[in-house]
Structure 1
Amino acid sequence: MEERAIQRAERRRILAERKKKQEEDKLAQLKAQEEERQKKDAEEKEAQLERKREEKRLKKMYVSDVEKEARKLCVYFLQKKFFRAWLTMVRDLKTESQRKLAIAAEHCDRKILSVMIQAWKAFVKLTKEERVREERRGQLRRKVADILPDFQALTPL
């Protein structure tokens, strides 16, 4: 019986050792699983952080590109607005210049016409005076011819 008791005790001890070993193995396995899970969590967290960083970087790049495009469009529309205003001003100045040129040409034409009319009036007056002078010269020649003898008749033949 003692042998049986020893065998039972031995079996119990072996069972206890197995149980203890199983518990240790199970504990080690759980610990390994926990470490693996923590490792996966850490890797997942790191991957998430990396994705977030990448998203932030991409978002910054996108915002930067959009801002550049916005600046470009702003400059384009400002230039367009400026050049339209400039073109309008140039057109207005050109129209004003043409209007002033037309007024100046009209004034010049009137002045030339006025000078021509005055010259024509003066010409009429001068021609009258010239006729009067010619008449006086003619009268003076006749008087001189009456007073002076005709020397042509005395010429020998």
Structure 2
Amino acid sequence: MIAKEELLLLKTKILPQGADSILDFLAARHQQVELTHIVLENVPLLIIGRHGMIARIPAAGSVQKVSKPDEILSRLRSFFNRQDVLYLFVNLPDLPVPSEVTELLREVQKRDNEKERLRQQIDEALSARDKELFIRATNELNRLQSEQNQPVVKSRRFQI
């Protein structure tokens, strides 16, 4: 069984057309979905890749292959009426992260590391009963936290 959140997390990747509604449908029935890292034979299987999807769903005594989102959803509806397990194979690339976002994440991580360093320094100053170091580290930590709480407005023009 796959966690509902894990299925919905797939929506943050580059999806083929129609995969959004299929992932929502699967999330509602996540107890009957198993994630696989290899393409299995002779089992109910849905493969989601960057350029499309293909499902091998048993119906009327044989395994039928379908690749159009509407047909897949229809077959999945009838499939989940039974208590069978559907195997899901996913081969999707991550969404590209803009450089501005990566830069912002680095800055946030750097600030967080600095705050953690200051907290450790405060703990060490308390253990050593070093009042001067304690005051310096506390003031620096307070300054960092007050900077973080103030809104930062930067005007940038991005040219494409």
| TM-score (norm: length of structure 1) | 0.21
**Greater share of helix:** 1
Bigger CA radius of gyration? 1
**Greater share of strand:** 2
**Using CA pairs below 8 Å that are at least 6 residues apart, which structure has the higher relative contact order?**
2
| TM-score (norm: length of structure 2) | 0.20
